[in-house]
Each structure stands twice: as C-alpha cells, then as structure tokens.
Amino acid sequence: MEKSIDLNTAIIVISGNHHNMGRIISANYELFELLGYDSKQILGLSINKIMTKVVADSHNTCIEKFFMNTNGCKAHKPFVICPIHKNGYIVICKIVIKVVSDLREGI
C-alpha cells in the first residue's frame, strides 16, 4: 500500500527527455518555500542548479542510467539529499523519486 502525500510535501517535476534532460518543468508552492525561489526563477532551470557541485557533476549521467535500467535504483525508496537554498545554504531533505509518464513530453 502506497503512502499518501503529506500536504506539506514539496514536489518537483523534471524532464526525462534526452533533449531536455533534468530541466525543472513543474514545482509546487512548498518547494518554492523550502528553497526560497519563486516559479519564474526556478521553472526551466536545470535541476543541477539546486544541487551541490559534487552531485550535479554526475546527475545527468545518473538520470540516463536510471532510464536504461531502473533495477536496483533509488526510485520509490526514500533517501536524503541536500539541495541548495537560493541564499546558498544547504537544506536537508528526504526524497522519493517517482517516474511519471507524460506522452506530451515523450516520457
């Protein structure tokens, strides 16, 4: 049985398409509050812009590998990440990756 989403859950949707890999295409108010951005500042950016450099450097490769073979990946399993707040400090978060197909986007 899948847990329901808490009303305070920050949600971010990124593109998995090869030509637009890792671009933020949607986010909710809770994400804007958590990271200090508004929608105009964050939508369309690469997800790597809100990651620490050490993670961002390999993130697109990880996304591509994820789509080639989801066995053993972190999808659907909570884990901790540390995105960067607009003011430059890290925010400790627990995330769960979920794949959502969108035929308009090709994935």
d(CA 107, CA 103): 6
Residue 62 has, within 13 A of its CA and on its CB side, a CA count of: 14
**Whole domain around residue 46: which residue ranges?**
12-95
In a domain, 72, yes or no: yes
pLDDT in tens, the chain (107 residues): 455 556 678 889 888 787 888 899 999 999 999 999 999 999 999 999 999 888 888 887 887 777 777 554 566 678 888 999 999 999 998 888 877 766 565 55
**The model's pTM:** 0.76
The dihedral through the CA atoms of 60, 21, 46, 85 has a sign that is negative
Residue 12 pairs with which residues in a beta bridge?
27
In a domain, 3, yes or no: no
Task: Give me the numbers of helices (H) and strands (E) for the chain, helices first please.
Answer: 3, 4
In a domain, 2, yes or no: no
In a domain, 63, yes or no: yes
In a domain, 57, yes or no: yes
In a domain, 59, yes or no: yes
| Tokens coding 69 | 């073979």
The enclosing domain of 62 has a CATH number of 3.30.450.20
The structural domain count of the chain equals: 1
